[in-house]
Structure 1
Amino acid sequence: MARQDQDPRAGADTARRRVLRLAGLSAAPDPGMDRFARLVARLLHVPVALVSLAEDGRQILPGMLGLPEPWAGRRALPLSHALCRHVVATQRPLIVSDARADERLRTSPAVRELGVVSYGGMPLTDGDGLLLGALCAIGHEPRSWDPAELADLEDLAAACSAELRQRILSAQLRSAQKVLETARAAAERARGEAESLRREAQTGLDHAELLLKTSEELAQTSGLDDVRRRLHDLLAGVGKPSYAGLLVADRNELRRIPDPDDVSSVEREILTLPTDAAFPSARALREGRTVFVPDREALVAAYSPDAVGLFDRLGLTTVMCLPLWGSRALLGVLAIGWARRHEVGITERATLTAASGYIAQAVERAQYLDERISVARELQEAMLTDLPLANRVEVSALYQPAADDHMIGGDWYDAYHLPLASPGAEPALMVTVGDISGHDMHAATVMGQIRSMLRQATLDHPPYSPATVLAALDAACAVLPVEASGTLVHARLDPAPPAMPWTLTWSNAGHPPPLLRAPDGRVHVLEAHDVLLHQAFKDASRTEHRRELTPGSTLLLYTDGLVERRGHDIEAAITQLAGLLNRHGNDPLPELLRRISERMAQPPPEDDVVLLALRVP
């Protein structure tokens, strides 16, 4: 009787056991796999991340972050608790916004006992395409997964698969090395073959390390300069090029991104190229393919004298230009050069092509972020008020963005005249400095709403009491509702006849205290304040305070980015600020604000900073 065919699932299980043994992975912590779990948790902002691998009726977890006991100690889950088994079964990613509402998963013990609600799992494979498990991101709340987040998870899964393959290859090479060492003792020919195999294996390991390092390093980049800064070190392990350059497509030209750490670089001599220029990089962009120039003779024969001159000054003999393909279009060109003639083999070309894919993803992400940041910065700066031309009082303001370009804040200042109390009278001046919580486009948008609402509330409530206006703002935010949270100082400055004191009336919603410098140099901290602006405090009592400002007095308002630093005492910073105001308070106001910004903003602030100064005559 003929034997029936073996169950293919049993064959897959046997293959997985062999692969995991080669990779040295079991139900025990593994530093490399734990690193991938940490990267998933950090990049996707999830509380639980797993490297989950199928093994004999269970899922082992050599990489794990955030799983509760007893599973964390066991480093394994039964199949009933492992959503990874669906990835293994279907050989496709599993993306779930709310497992409790998913027909396949809502009865799973993972939902009930592990708190799995949102889930993203990307397949992990070996070099033969055998599906080993999944790289998983898990949340305890429903979540709408962003395509960019899923792309990051997919990239990390590709890097994790590459490391698994590298380990398997290393184990195989170790085994092969033992055989080759025995053969060396028998014959010189075997020794030479073993050395050749070792070199090839090392090259393969170098290439695998490049791809892993590229996917890992470029996932952390935040702009085109950052991508360019990392290029040379990333590519140094493959072919040891002496130059790696980045050019991005910009309408009808290529724009070179020079090394930001080398201000004297030859790259800066030609920062833009027309797309029809006789340069290898422009040709790679036009034709959408890799362009290889083996030596200077080929460069002279096919390209312009300008191209030859630039590559001579860069000291390059061999050049390869690879197109950078984005998700929708050709983004630019990666240019790689060698000082000596260099033969680029099939494996090296394939590795550099794969690396260019990671670089293209980083460029696309950087351009997207740069565009968003630019729009947000323009929006925020457009909403900053032009200071009014006061008849006698001096007014000056300074806005300094955060050191991190991604930190779009909600800081603002405002100053405007109130309607005249009587014909011929000098108008009172309203001033505001505030900070809406958050560091994103939403914060900047809410800031614009609050500023406009505050202006309207002021003009709708004569005689323009700051406390009354803030109470009206609280009520409006609660009714509309506007999800605003933050702090602000709202003040009215009433003029007086020459040589007489002006009157300052203010109300403080949880903001850092204004500083008042008297003409004799003494600085007073105006500490009185109420609760911050928040819809939860809609019934908060708003109080206001008055102070006479003798002629020559200087009032300084500021946001917390000036005095609040991680690991530093805010009270000490306010004392330092008061000392600067004491010493330089007689300077012209723009010079005073510049001095304060330079002295207080070291190191560069993590938050936006606003300064507003007024001096009464």
Structure 2
Amino acid sequence: MTETPRTASVSTGQLSIDDETRERFARLARTRVGAPVSLVSLASDPDGPLLPGTDLPQGWASTTAPFLGDSFRRIVVARGTPVVVRDVADDPTVRRRLDGPDEHVVAFAGFPVHDARSEPAGVLCVLDDQPHDWTETDLEVLEDLAALCSADLRRRAEHARAREIQRVMTQSNRQARLLLLLSDAFADAVTIDDVAQIAGRVATTGLGARYTGLAVLSEDGTSLRYTSMDGFPGDVEGWWQDCLVDDPHRPLAHVARTRTHLLFRDVDEMRARFQFTSPSVARIRGARALMPLISSGELLGVLTLVWDLPRDFDDQSATIKAALGGYTAQALDRARLLAERQSVARMLQASMLSPLPTVEGVQITSIYEPAARTEDVGGDWYDALVLENGSLALMIGDVTGHDLAAAALMGQLRSMLRSFAWEHDEPPSYILALLDRANTGVRLEATGTAITACLDPADEPGGSRRFTWSSAGHPPPVVLRADGTVELLRARNDLMLGVYPTVARTDHETVLHPGDTLVLYTDGLVERRGEMLLHGIERLCRVLGSLAPLPFVDLPHALVQGLVADEVTDDTAVLVVRVG
């Protein structure tokens, strides 16, 4: 017996389910019909038909194409009907079409096996090396077995189709989830660093990337710089962070110049095209993907993904990577715009918060913490200026709102209040009432709270000073006395600005002695959601008392750190004045 690899698999029992089923059909045909050899031959068999584990006549076995039964299968498939030959010597038409091992076959009876589309896909046949008279019963048995074999073939095809549909649906569902993740992931990205971190997280969880880098194009368009090297191996060289756009040796520069993707199955494929790379990065042997980040036709940067292992990029992964690049570009464009607005807002805020004056015998310091992270400016303000009579005018206020609109209103109120304080030698209540009327009269119509105050000159060098203030709905001043005690300046709190401009306003007085520290603040320092404002003010008094040993210049920042949560939800302004 000549044994082929398929024969060996049969004889040792190492069969797949398909092979077992086909061998069962062939064995039934062989035993029921009484032929020495039977087989099921399909056109899809790359290694030929499954041969029985029995001795074959001389010349029938073949380990290479054409295989036993190939000629007969082609004849049956071409005709689409059974082919029955008692002796091929009597049928010249069939004999002429035989080749390979089939030239040694004398008798043959074969019935077509149909696929899921009812098209002939193969043959179930019996063969003999002697002339064979096939009986009607033989042919009925073969017809029934071929029908059963066809049914099994169709069933398996349907199962395979169902599995493929399930696989496609699973991949599509995964792709849909990833695309949904992408659409949601960048919603909260505010800064460029946020964009880089989110892109890295999505690339890792959604695409399996090991390393991710976001390189941002410089303002002049001549260079790229990775926002952080955290997404690369720890030993990556420092110079790798920067790249000139006209560098012909780096894939990053090529993507920026051509605005096209680069996909490499592994590092060798990349180095075959770009010889120059970081030794540390080159040690990662896996795939690479570099995507241009383009928004509104403008190149913003390049996103780099690196995998540990080689990988082939199919259409679905390409779609997800394209979506990742698109969302990253949009988020990067938005972050860049917000950064520009933030810069403008900071300049606006700086222009509104004048430098604090220098006053002999008085120390002054301040802090401003905005609530609007995206614009870094709001409606709170403070101010201090020395009047012609030598008094120190102090002002702090909070216009309703936490954005540029509130800042614009605040700027106008602040300018008017500063002018009124300079031009009118009147008590704070008069200045505040004048501001309220002007706010309505010029149709500014801002609403908010404010304190206007006056610190008189000392009667003698290093002496005490009278402090007079008027409040329009503003939180009360707090004094840290020289002996470490804290005093809340409780007094009548008049109506806030912008409600009833002709309301009567009152003045209040106290004396600040050498070493006393006055704290003026806005409600962002003490207000908490779901809590009475008084509780926040009491907390301020406790914290202020604990900070007595601190250097004076550190007090505003320490107060904010001690009282405001990590995420500032309201603008906070603090103005601190120490006598002596």
TM-score range, shorter chain: 0.5 to 0.7
Q: 2:536 aligns with which of 573, 576, 579?
A: 573
Match of 2:451 in 1: 489
Q: Is the 8 A contact 2:398 2:450 kept in 1?
A: yes
The one-letter amino acid paired with 1:602 is A
Kept in 1, the 8 Å contact 2:293–2:303? The answer is yes
Amino acid at match of 1:223: T
Aligned pairs (5 A) from 1:284-303: 284-303=255-274
Larger Rg: 2
Paired residue secondary structure (1:535): coil
For residues 466 and 381 of structure 2, what CA distance do their matches in structure 1 show? 23
| Residue 204 (str. 1) matches residue 172 (str. 2) | yes
Aligned counterparts, 1:10-29, within 5 A: none
Give 1:143-222 correspondences, 5 Å limit.
188=156, 190-222=158-190
Q: 2:440 aligns with which of 471, 478, 495?
A: 478
Tell me if structure 1 keeps the 8 A contact 2:439–2:445.
yes
Structure 1 position 223 matched with structure 2 position 191: yes
User: What residue number does 1:371 align with?
Assistant: 340
Q: CA deviation at 1:549?
A: 2.0
In structure 1, distance between residues paired with 2:228 and 2:285 = 16
Equivalent position of 1:324 in the other structure? 293
Q: Could you tell me how far apart the structure 1 residues matched to 2:359 and 2:275 are? A: 61
Structure 2 residue matching 1:471: 3-state secondary structure: helix
Question: Which one of the candidate residues 495, 500, 505 is aligned to 1:542?
Answer: 505
1:558 to 500, 504, 521: 521
From 240, 252, 258, the equivalent of 2:228 is 258
Sort the Cα spacing of 1:433 and 1:355 in 2 relative to 1 into closer, same or farther, 3 A: same
**Cα distance change of structure 1 residues 262 and 533 upon mapping to structure 2, 3 Å threshold:** farther
SS of residue in 1 equivalent to 2:499: helix
- Equivalents in 1 of 2:228, 2:366: separation in Å? 35
- The Cα shift of 1:589 comes to 1.4
Instruction: Give 1:273's aligned amino acid.
Output: C
In the alignment, the residues of structure 1 paired with residue 551 and residue 331 of structure 2 have an alpha-carbon distance, to the nearest angstrom, of: 46
Give 1:273's aligned residue. 243
Q: Which runs of 5 or more residues in structure 2 are unaligned? A: 1-150
Shift of 1:417: 0.7
The Cα shift of 1:193 comes to 4.6
1:470 Cα deviation after fit: 0.8
SS of residue paired to 2:415: helix
Please tell me the residue identity of whatever aligns with 2:279: G
Q: Residue in 1 aligned with 2:108?
A: none
Q: Quick check: 2:428–2:452 contact (8 Å CA) kept in 1?
A: yes
**1:70 corresponds to which residue?**
none
Q: Which residue of structure 1 lines up, in the alignment, with residue 308 of structure 2?
A: 339
Change (3 A) 1:238 1:521: closer
Q: Using the alignment, how far apart are the partners of 1:259 and 1:381 within structure 2? A: 33
| 1:614 correspondence with 2:571 | no
- In the alignment, residue 303 of structure 1 is paired with which amino acid? F
Q: Deviations over 1:130-161 (max 9, x none)?
A: xxxxxxxxxxxxxxxxxxxxxxxxxxxxxxxx
- How far, CA to CA, are the matches of 1:239 and 1:434 in structure 2? 51
Give the direction of change, closer, same or farther, for the CA distance of 1:337–1:465 in structure 2 (3 Å limit).
same
Three-state SS of the structure 2 residue aligned to 1:580 is helix
The match for 2:325 is 356
The structural deviation recorded for 1:395 is 1.5
Cα deviation, 1:261-300, whole Å, max 9, x if unaligned, reads 9996959764332212332222111101111223222332
Q: In the alignment, what sits opposite 1:76?
A: none
**Post-superposition shift, 1:592?**
2.8
Q: Residues 523 and 234 from structure 1, CA distance in 2 versus in 1: closer, same or farther, beyond 3 angstroms?
A: same
Could you say if the C-alpha distance between residues 216 and 499 of structure 1 is closer, same or farther in structure 2, counting changes exceeding 3 Å? closer
Q: Structure 1 CA distance, aligned partners of 2:481 and 2:347?
A: 37
Assess if the C-alpha contact under 8 Å between 1:228 and 1:259 holds in 2: no
410, 422, 426: which one aligns with 1:447: 410
* Counterpart-to-counterpart distance in 2, 1:445 and 1:198: 59
Residue 310 (structure 1) shift:
4.9
Does the CA contact (< 8 Å) of 2:450 and 2:497 recur in 1?
A: no
Alpha-carbon distance change, 603 to 434 in structure 1, aligned in 2, over 3 angstroms: same
- Superposed, 1:361-440 pairs within 5 Å as 361-402=330-371, 404-406=373-375, 408-420=377-389, 427-440=390-403
**Is residue 515–residue 524 contact of structure 1 (8 Å, CA) maintained in 2?**
yes
Backbone CA RMSD of aligned residues = 2.9
Shift of 1:502: 1.0
Displacement of 1:514 in angstroms is: 0.4
String of CA shifts for 1:488-516, please: whole Å, max 9, x gaps: 11111001214643111111111111012
Aligned to 1:312: 282
The alignment covers a number of residue pairs equal to 427
Identity between Structure 1 and Structure 2 (%):
35
The amino acid across from 1:354 in the alignment is A
- Structure 2 residue 469 is the aligned partner of structure 1 residue 506: yes
Work out the CA distance in 1 between the residues paired with 2:399 and 2:521: 13
Aligned counterparts of 1:329 and 1:188: Cα–Cα separation in 2: 53
**C-alpha separation in 2, matches of 1:357 and 1:541:** 59
- Cα distance between partner residues in 2 of 1:519 and 1:272: 55
Contact in 2 for aligned 1:565/1:606 (Cα 8 Å): no
The one-character-per-residue Cα deviations of 1:387-422 (angstroms, maximum 9, x if unpaired) are: 1111111222222333834563122221111113xx
- In structure 1, distance between residues paired with 2:437 and 2:526: 30
Q: Is the 8 A contact 1:512 1:559 kept in 2?
A: yes
Q: Normalising to structure 2: TM-score of the pair?
A: 0.68
Tell me: CA distance 1:274–1:483, structure 2 relative to 1, closer, same or farther (3 Å): farther
Mapped to 1, the partners of 2:156 and 2:497 lie a distance apart of 81
Q: Cα distance 1:511–1:215, how it changes in 2: closer, same or farther (>3 A)?
A: same
Q: 1:230 to 1:586 in 2, by over 3 A?
A: closer
SS at match of 1:503: strand
Kindly indicate whether the alpha-carbon contact (under 8 Å) linking 1:562 and 1:605 is maintained by their aligned counterparts in 2. Answer: no
Distance 2:409 2:471 in 1: 19
| C-alpha distance in 1 between matches for 2:391 and 2:541 | 27
Q: Is 1:524 matched up with 2:487?
A: yes
Question: Aligned partners of 1:294, 1:589: CA distance in 2, in Å?
Answer: 62
- Contact preservation (8 Å) 1:485, 1:532: no
CA distance, structure 2, for counterparts of residue 220 and residue 358 of structure 1: 12
Q: Structure 1 residues 535, 570: closer, same or farther in 2, change over 3 A?
A: closer
Change (3 A) 1:450 1:208: same
CA 1:459/1:406 → structure 2, altered by over 3 Å: closer, same or farther? closer
Normalised by the length of structure 1, the TM-score is 0.64
Deviation at 1:188, TM superposition (A): 4.9
Query: Bigger CA drift: 505-514 or 341-350?
Result: 341-350
For 1:96-107, what aligned pairs fall within 5 Å after superposition? none
CA pair 275-531 structure 1, distance change in 2 beyond 3 A: farther
Q: CA deviation at 1:356?
A: 2.1
Read off the aligned partner of 1:329 and give its amino acid letter.
E
The secondary structure found in structure 2 opposite 1:333 is strand
Q: Which residue of structure 1 lines up, in the alignment, with residue 431 of structure 2?
A: 469
Three-state SS of the structure 2 residue aligned to 1:415 is strand
Residue 221 to residue 281, structure 1, CA distance change in 2 (3 Å):
same
Unaligned 5+ segments in structure 1 are: 1-182, 421-426
Deviation at 1:559, TM superposition (A): 1.3
